[in-house]
Structure 1
Amino acid sequence: MLVVMMVNSKSGSTFKEFSDDKDAELYWKTVNEQVSSAHLSFGESVTLGMYRSPSERPADARMDVTEGKAKKIKGVIIRAGKELKDKVSRTGVNVIDEALLIKAEQVIQDKAGDYLGWAAKDVIEFQSALDAALADLPNSVDKLKQMAAICYRIKGQGGTFGYQMVTLIADKLGDFLATLDHLTVKDTEVIQVHINSVKFVLSKGMSGAVSSSGESLLVRLEEVSNKILQKKLKAAGGSSAGGDN
């Protein structure tokens, strides 16, 4: 997980966490540009830092940054010049931070219209990797890793652009992929029902909070996945030899 930390010498620190590298870079660029052109008060400085944390939970990622456990990717310090002293009266310290963050969030919102196109490309790439894996299961480890990486991207962008259902489904899929060190036919069936669910959510434009129909979809997804896995376990228990099922 990437963490962007902004430290204002007068008003303290703020953090923003990202699962997707592209979203983090967009946020970094926007905040950096706005801070550079902001009317900082005399003696005020803003330090920006981007860090990569091994943790997946935002709270843990922030802790990694503050405890020095996260790897610093880049940083910049922006200071106000003496000529800005006369601008203090019309640029409150707290207003600077809030305005910058609001503007950065607005940039992300403006990009929301592009999200469905990005998501569609990710889904197509994921489906292609899944099809290739199914066609050659004994040599599918690389495709499994590729799917895990794409799933992580789908999960992160879904949350950033307000598609909570996409994030929840991708989260479940990511957890399942993490349990696998190789693929069986039944595994690919579980994966397929998850990616089909993502396709459905995107096609219906199911953004925002999870609705009752969304909850029903998640329940159904869980039921179907469990049935497939039960068949996998039953087949494995009833056969002492043979290929994957």
Structure 2
Amino acid sequence: MSSPAAQGKAEKVPGVRFYIIRNVLQEKAAGGSVGPGEKGGIPIEAIQAAEAEFHKMSEDYPDWVQSLIDELLDNYRRCIDTPELRHEKVAVIHDIAHDMKGQGGTFGYPLITNFGDSLFKCTHKSEECSDNLVELIKAHVDGMKAVISGRVSGDGGEI
């Protein structure tokens, strides 16, 4: 005697349920016109327009990021001028560094990502604001300024 599965009949397993999960992301990418199990797509014109906009943003990145570097420099100066506000200013620097570590590589400036990541890590405890930390912040900001003013994209090449 053969089992029901061998005869092409599905055997019911008690306590087991199967769910078909909708691919909501795929539906959104296709403009909501995709039903479960259907393949969706983004029109090629939309992709080309997004790539053109991204290329423009990449070209503008050095000018755009300069404002963040200026903000880092301003907060560094406040750490020097007003030591009683140092922990607050280091927290601001930490937040800016977080943004910069995620942007640099995206726009072709991985050295900005490296500096941003390092600055983010060394400022994670804003309550520990020694003079050495303030000087380390300055070194990071100077490095970022050099990368952007020299338009050093990529890994910077050989030294």
TM-score, normalisation: structure 1: 0.48
> Is the 1:140–1:182 contact (alpha carbons within 8 Å) kept by the matching residues of 2?
no
1:78: Cα distance to partner?
2.0
2:87 corresponds to: 141
Identity of aligned residues (%): 21
- Segments of structure 2 that go 5 or more residues without pairing to the other structure are 1-22
- Specify whether residues 211 and 182 from structure 1 end up closer, same or farther in structure 2 by C-alpha distance, changes over 3 A only: same
Per-residue CA deviations over 1:192-243 (Å, capped at 9, x if unaligned) read 0111000001111111234223xxxxxxxxxxxxxxxxxxxxxxxxxxxxxx
1:164 is displaced (CA, Å) by 0.7
Partner of 2:25: 7
Q: Which runs of 5+ in 1 are unaligned?
A: 9-45, 49-75, 81-92, 214-245
Runs of 4+ in structure 1 over 4 Å off: 100-103
TM score, norm. by length of structure 2: 0.71
> Using a 3 Å threshold, how does the CA distance of structure 1 residues 98 and 170 change in structure 2: closer, same or farther?
farther
Identify the residue that residue 47 of structure 1 maps to in structure 2: 28
Change (3 A) 1:6 1:164: farther
- Looking at structure 1, the residues matched to 130 and 43 of structure 2 have their Cα atoms a distance apart, in angstroms, of 50
Q: 2:131 corresponds to which letter in structure 1?
A: V
Which of these two proteins has the greater Rg computed from alpha carbons?
2
Two-structure CA RMSD over aligned residues (Å): 2.6
Residue 178 in structure 1 maps to residue 132 in structure 2: no
Instruction: Give 1 or 2: higher strand fraction.
Output: 1
Question: What does residue range 22-101 of structure 1 map to in structure 2 within 5 Å?
Answer: 46-47=27-28, 78-79=32-33, 96-97=41-42, 99=44, 100-101=46-47
Note the alpha carbon deviations across 1:50-101, whole angstroms, 9 max, x for none. Answer: xxxxxxxxxxxxxxxxxxxxxxxxxx96226xxxxxxxxxxxx57x348355
Aligned length: 132
Q: Which has the higher contact order (CA 8 A, sep 6+)?
A: 2
